[in-house]
Chains A and B, each alone.
Chain A
């Protein structure tokens, strides 16, 4: 008799693929939110596998803050071509230009919050009824309670106290007109699972995830890239260091890690011995203890 044993990565892959197919079956116009980070890259590959040999039946949507690392954009365009996907870009700069949002001022200014408006506008413009996101429950405590199928009201808001119960593998995507869903197919993957999966599947990543020399500066204990997107105080000295990204977001909120890891094996070893969470370098989470919960309620990813 066969040995029916599934590794944890295969089981998690199977769960994610089930969710992705469920979205294609239950919704009329889904979209996959692609940020250029490793989580959304893994989600994109899973979508490719879920529908192969057919094309991925929904477009990728990238909300571009205009403050992205150049490598992210290059990688995005290559990936879209490799997977045969369709790409839609929502521009925060356009939202600023049209007066939909007002840019934050000062040294800690970030477009992170503004992208929520651009995101909701983009979903509205194309009438998307489900947006797939690469959020994981281990990332942050408000996310630990997020459902796979997360209902949003007509204002795009999340009501954490009134979430639909999710039992077994039955997912309820029914909704009224104007409402939509955020769906998180990789909810149960941890940071370590993501890296192991990337290693197992041999998924190419943006070079930013590997060690490289870069001009950086330090602010409140976090190392940032010394690029024009972040205005520096005079006291903040630019140095060249060997760094890599543990998460990739907008330049203004991506903390860099001192690292010499230049292979996936090195990165996995580094994470196994790390004592700081990956979001420890995300300044957007540090604004208050419930920062993530508040942003999510307003319609953030």
Chain B
């Protein structure tokens, strides 16, 4: 044992990368995830044995069906489909990874949106034999809608097209057209065979024409959320810490998670919506005090003045651009519920740490996410639909656009009767800047 203990210090300063995958039964998504888990030694013998047993029982013979590793619920195993978002974990000596593994069919758009909402990277799988199909466009649209900073286009099953450079380049060229329409930020193409492992963990000798990184190496080196810490500082107040004890008699800490930029002791700040001004006296993290803290740290901020602040307020730096404070909000919404959106209806809104109510003022149009065209004649927003809507909130929201900040630019709609989360909203300022039509 003692020989391995030397590695532990390295583990303590690894970074965390979250990525999403979307795919259906046949495109090799499960095989790819299985390969990443297997090659990084994240599958254990008892898990592998359970999968072998299940493969046999479901009539797969001796061939191990790696998809069974990722399909957790009984209904999914029986029907051979992935219904929900499943979270998978693996680590290499460099990074720890969280995979949001989502189904790829259109009827699971809401699950794809959920999985993509926290991802730093989206992996779009394209079957080299079929090229870009409707589903590839859909997955790309979702990556764009959710503003995932990096997209890896993995052209899979290269073994079935003789590792042809021409096939790969044709797909790449066609996809670049889509990427530019969708304003995808950083797109990287890799030719792979998930089944045999080519260019997944190790570089393949069958693609000498490919000079880029392997998939795993990319995942290990892509920057993690470097942009968020450079945004205007945002601190949605989550909870007020008041000890009421003799030792901390006058302590009043505003607890929350920094959701953009960074804060320093001494910074002049403005509290919204009241526009009260104050200065940061201290930043506490657990039992320690910090000079500076940044996104996405959970801290408590203490101010020099005794001001009236409650949950839902946002603390920002006085010197930086402020969020919009308004009850009129324009957003793209992905509908998550069986019951369609009720135009003119009222919903509960949760935005950052704020909760209020809103009325749906207008449904402008829906988006056909297969063709990326706008639908103007049918405005019934059903489950899995994406639509552009306007709402009016009871209390003003303090928001940025989703393109500027994923936390202060997002909200959810909650049904007033069932309390289910029924809609996911991405706030837009100027639709021309943020959307696209072919």
Partner of A188, one of B46, B72, B98, B111: B98
Cα–Cα distance between A190 and B11 once the two chains are bound (Å): 13
Q: Is B275 an interface residue (CB 8 A)?
A: no
Please determine whether A21 and B298 come into contact, CB atoms closer than 8 angstroms: yes
Interface string of B1-25 (1 = CB under 8 A from A): 1111101100111111000000000
Within residues 89 to 126 of chain B, which ones have a CB less than 8 A from any CB in chain A?
Answer: 89, 91, 95-96, 98, 110-111, 113-114, 117-118
Cβ of B117 and Cβ of A25 under 8 Å apart? no
Asked if A275 lies at the interface with its beta carbon under 8 angstroms from chain B, I say yes
Give the chain B neighbours of A175 by CB distance below 8 A: 419
State the CA gap A192–B91 with chains docked (Å): 9
Number of contacting residues on A, CB 8 A? 74
CB-based contact B350/A277 at 8 Å: no
Is A172 in contact with B83, judged by CB distance below 8 angstroms?
Answer: no
Q: In this complex, what residue of B is CB-closest to A201?
A: B286
Task: Kindly report which residue of chain B lies nearest to residue A17, judged by CB atoms.
Answer: B298
Given A2-B262, A170-B410, A269-B8, the answer on whether A277 and B243 have CB atoms closer than 8 Å is no
Q: Smallest CB-CB separation from B243: which chain A residue?
A: A54
Contact call A196/B12, Cβ cutoff below 8 A: yes
Report the separation of the CA atoms of residues A51 and B297 in the bound assembly, to the nearest whole angstrom: 15
Q: How far is the CA of A249 from the CA of B406 in the complex (A)?
A: 40
- Is A202 an interface residue when CB atoms closer than 8 A count as contact? no
- C-alpha gap A163/B72 in the complex (Å): 14
B245 CB within 8 Å of chain A: yes
Residues of A within 8 A of B85 (CB): 145
Task: Kindly state whether residue B429 has any CB partner on chain A within 8 Å.
Answer: no
Nearest A residue to B264 via CB reads: A2
Is A10 touching B297 in the complex (CB atoms < 8 A)?
Answer: yes
Q: How far is the CB of A179 from chain B (nearest CB, A)?
A: 9
Contact, CB under 8 Å: A276 / B72: no
Q: Is the CB of B91 within 8 A of A21?
A: no
Of the residues B11, B295, B419, contact of A176 by C-beta under 8 Å: B419
**From A174, which residue of chain B is reached at the shortest CB distance?**
B419
Q: In the complex the two chains form, is B298's CB within 8 Å of A18's CB?
A: yes
B134 at the interface (CB under 8 A from A): no
Question: A7 contacts B46, CB within 8 Å?
Answer: no
Given A168-B406, A174-B414, check contact A273 B239 (CB 8 Å). Answer: no
What residue of chain A has the Cβ atom nearest to residue B117's Cβ? Answer: A167
What is the CB-to-nearest-CB distance from B111 to chain A, in angstroms, rounded to a whole number? Answer: 8
Task: Describe B's contact surface by its main secondary structure.
Answer: mixed
Contact yes or no, B54 A14, CB < 8 A: no
Cβ A277 vs Cβ B44 within 8 A:
yes
Q: Are A6 and B243 in contact (CB under 8 A)?
A: no
> With the chains together, A272 CA to B229 CA distance in Å?
33
Which B339-382 residues have C-beta < 8 A from chain A? 348, 350-353
State which residues 244-301 of A face B: CB under 8 Å: 260-261, 263, 265-266, 268-270, 272-277, 280, 289-290, 293
- B377 → chain A, closest Cβ, in Å? 28
Q: Does A164 contact B (CB under 8 A)?
A: yes
A277 and B311 within 8 A (CB): no
Q: Which of A59-67, A86-94, A134-142, A229-237 contacts B (4 or more CB under 8 A)?
A: A134-142
Is A9's beta carbon under 8 Å from chain B?
Answer: yes
Closest to B351 in A: A170
Report how far A265 CA is from B256 CA in the complex, Å.
33
Chain B residues near A172 (CB, 8 Å)? 350, 412, 414, 419, 421
Q: Is B211 an interface residue, CB under 8 A from the partner?
A: no
Knowing A25-B238, A25-B239, A170-B411, say if A4 contacts B229 (CB, 8 Å).
yes
- What is the CA–CA distance of A145 and B71 in the complex, to the nearest angstrom? 9
Interface residues of B, Cβ cutoff 8 Å to A:
1-5, 7-8, 11-16, 44-47, 50, 54, 69, 71-75, 77, 83-89, 91, 95-96, 98, 110-111, 113-114, 117-118, 226, 229, 238-239, 241-245, 247-248, 251, 255-257, 262, 284-287, 292, 294-298, 311, 336, 348, 350-353, 406-407, 410-412, 414, 419-421, 424
Q: Enumerate chain A interface residues (CB-CB to B < 8 A).
A: 2, 4-15, 17-18, 21-22, 24-25, 48-55, 137-138, 141-145, 160-161, 163-170, 172, 174-176, 187-188, 190, 192-193, 196, 199-200, 260-261, 263, 265-266, 268-270, 272-277, 280, 289-290, 293
A-B contact pairs, 19 of them (CB 8 A): A2-B262, A2-B294, A8-B15, A14-B257, A22-B239, A25-B238, A48-B286, A50-B255, A51-B241, A54-B251, A137-B89, A144-B86, A161-B73, A196-B12, A269-B4, A269-B7, A272-B4, A272-B7, A275-B45
Question: A4-B295, A15-B298, A187-B87 provided; 9 other pairs, C-beta below 8 A?
Answer: A18-B238, A25-B239, A54-B241, A160-B73, A168-B407, A196-B8, A273-B4, A277-B44, A289-B50
Considering the complex of A and B, which 3 residue pairs feature the smallest CB-CB distances, nearest first?
A269-B4, A49-B286, A141-B72
